[in-house]
Amino acid sequence: MPQEIEKHYKEILKQYIQDQNEKDLYSGQKFSRQFIEKEISPEEVIGIHKASLKELFPEASEKLWHSFDFLIEMMIHYGLALQEHQSLIRKQE
Amino acid sequence: MPQEIEKHYKEILKQYIQDQNEKDLYSGQKFSRQFIEKEISPEEVIGIHKASLKELFPEASEKLWHSFDFLIEMMIHYGLALQEHQSLIRKQE
- Cβ atoms A73, B25 nearer than 8 A: yes
DSSP A80: H
- Tens digit of pLDDT at every position of chain A (93 positions): 678 888 999 999 999 999 999 998 998 888 898 898 888 999 999 999 999 999 999 999 999 999 999 999 999 999 998 888 888 888 877
pTM here is: 0.91
**Taking each helix axis from N to C terminus, what angle separates A22-37 and A3-19, rounded to the nearest 10 degrees?**
160
Residue A67 with chain B: CB contacts under 8 Å: 13, 16-17, 49, 52-53, 56
Q: Give the per-residue pLDDT at B85.
A: 82
Q: Does B64 touch chain A (CB under 8 A)?
A: yes
Q: Give the pLDDT mean for B79-89.
A: 86
Distance CA(A56)–CA(B68), nearest Å, equals: 13
Tell me how long chain B is.
93
DSSP B58: T
Q: Is the Cβ pair B45, A20 closer than 8 Å?
A: no
Total Cβ atoms within 10 A of residue A21:
11
- Cβ atoms A75, A46 nearer than 8 A: yes
Q: Does B36 touch chain A (CB under 8 A)?
A: yes
**pLDDT, tens digit (0-9, with 9 covering 90-100), for B26-81:** 988 888 988 988 889 999 999 999 999 999 999 999 999 999 999 999 999 999 98
Quote ipTM for the complex: 0.91
Spell out the alpha helix ranges (H) of A1-93.
3-19, 22-37, 42-56, 62-92
A82: nearest Cα among A29, A26, A48, A37: A37
